[in-house]
Amino acid sequence: MTGRDALEPEAAELVRPYVITKGRGLPDEAQLSLITLVTATADHQQRPTRLSPEEQKLLELCSAGYLSVAEVAGHTHLPLGVVKILLSALTEGGYLITRPPVQRAPLADRQILEEVLNGLRAKFG
CB 72 within 8 A of CB 38: yes
Q: What is the enclosing helix (H) or strand (E) of 97?
A: strand 96-99
pLDDT reported for residue 32: 83
Strands across the sheet containing 96-99: 67-68, 37-40, 96-99
For the chain, give the percent of residues with pLDDT over 70: 71
How far apart are the C-alpha atoms of 98 and 68, rounded to whole Å? 9
Mean pLDDT over 87-106 rounds to 85
- Give this prediction's pTM: 0.62
